[in-house]
Amino acid sequence: MKTITICSSVAFYRDVIKIKDELEKLGVHVIVPKTALRMQKNNDYEVSHYKTWFADANDYHKKAELMMSHFEEIDKGGAILVVNNEKHGVANYIGGNVLMEMALAFFQKKPIFILHDIPHESPFIEEILGVLPITLKGDLKSLVKQL
């Protein structure tokens, strides 16, 4: 069974859980960020409840731990799926943290799938295109076929 690790902005974690469930029904083993699982367990998807470092800079060690933990999850998977919904009025949003995760997958020579279109207005467009992602145009069944 192929394993895919999902990467996305915390703002999309409710959708990440739905995508995880859908992919598992299609026979894929899915790894999601630990915070997504906490949000699901608590039925609380309010980002500010988890990103405490904005209110208290002493909590940035939590951000570092979450980043390292998800890098380890990327290492376990055979590919990554970037969930890039709209955020703050920006279509197909990919932020800095997800870009770092994409770079790690690229370095590890793992396929990088992007759920929606490439965010051509992104300040990171050169780097996003440079990791040679495969766009799915929202089609998860296409992902399963390509794994």
Span 105-131, mean pLDDT?
95
Report pLDDT for 1.
59
- Encode pLDDT of 68-84 as tens digits: 999 999 999 999 999 99
Span 122-147, mean pLDDT?
93
Q: Give the integer Cα–Cα distance in Å for 50 and 92.
A: 23
Tokens, residue 116: 């929606």
Place of tokens 């050169």: 126
pLDDT score of 11 more than 80: yes
Amino acid at 94: I
Q: Give the integer Cα–Cα distance in Å for 128 and 119.
A: 9
pTM > 0.75: yes or no: yes
Span 38-67, mean pLDDT?
81
Q: Give the integer Cα–Cα distance in Å for 56 and 141.
A: 42
Domains recognised in the chain with CATH numbers: 3-146 (3.40.50)
